[in-house]
Amino acid sequence: MKQYSWQGLAEIPTLRGKMKRTMAQFTPKSWTKFEWDMTKSFKSYCTVLFILTMFLICELNAFYLKTLLWIPPAHSINVIRIFVYFMFGIPGVREAYQYFHDVNCKRIGPQAWLLIGSIATEVLIVCKFGIGEFPNAAPKEVVYFWAVFLSLLTAFPIYQFYLLPKLQDKSKGKLKAQ
């Protein structure tokens, strides 16, 4: 049987020890290690890209909504919105990680769906109220940057998950033949 040392806070001699004990009361019993391994498989690569895309869309929506709905930057609704997304995001990302990395998990969790649905709703609001608001086209430099960035984002998985394994197989075959 495991022995436990039930020591009261008053019995801890140092202030640092008391602070450490107090803070430990608000932490979980154990921590889960997350290993996204973005470059290990195509599925992991797409998972991380999807989550990053959702984060970026959520951040971009904040600026569009402030502009389109004429909400002042200092308004409390902006802070509340960010806080709500932070609170949705913690369990939502955990559920997405579980779904994409655990073979026994068959469905994505409700918090992740709630997060995706909220972001999608904001995108629809931005699309509805943004018609005709931004008549100027993006500068060519911005278009070129995004074209190069998306090309690299597409070229990397082709190289990493298709070409590189084939090249490694060929080099292994040559070594075995010698």
Reported as a single tens digit per residue, the pLDDT across 6-61 is 778 888 889 998 898 888 888 887 888 888 888 899 989 999 999 999 999 999 99
Q: Which residue has the tokens 């060519």?
A: 140
Residue 70 — very low, low, confident or very high, per pLDDT cuts 50/70/90? Answer: very high
Interhelix angle for 42-68 vs 110-129, to 10°? Answer: 40
Q: What is the CA radius of gyration of the chain?
A: 24
Spatial separation of the C-alpha atoms in residues 170 and 154, rounded to whole Å: 24
C-beta separation of 65 from 122 below 8 A: yes
- pLDDT tens, 75-103? 999 999 999 999 999 999 999 999 988 89
- Output b/e per residue, 28-48; b: 16+ Cβ within 10 A: eeeeeeeeeeeeeeeebbebe
| Distance of alpha carbon 55 from alpha carbon 41, whole angstroms | 21
Q: What is the pTM of this model?
A: 0.77
Residue 26 sits at the vertex; the CA angle it makes with 25 and 29, to the nearest 5 degrees, is 75
Is the pLDDT reported for residue 139 higher than 80?
A: yes
Task: Give the tokens for residue 79.
Answer: 């802070």
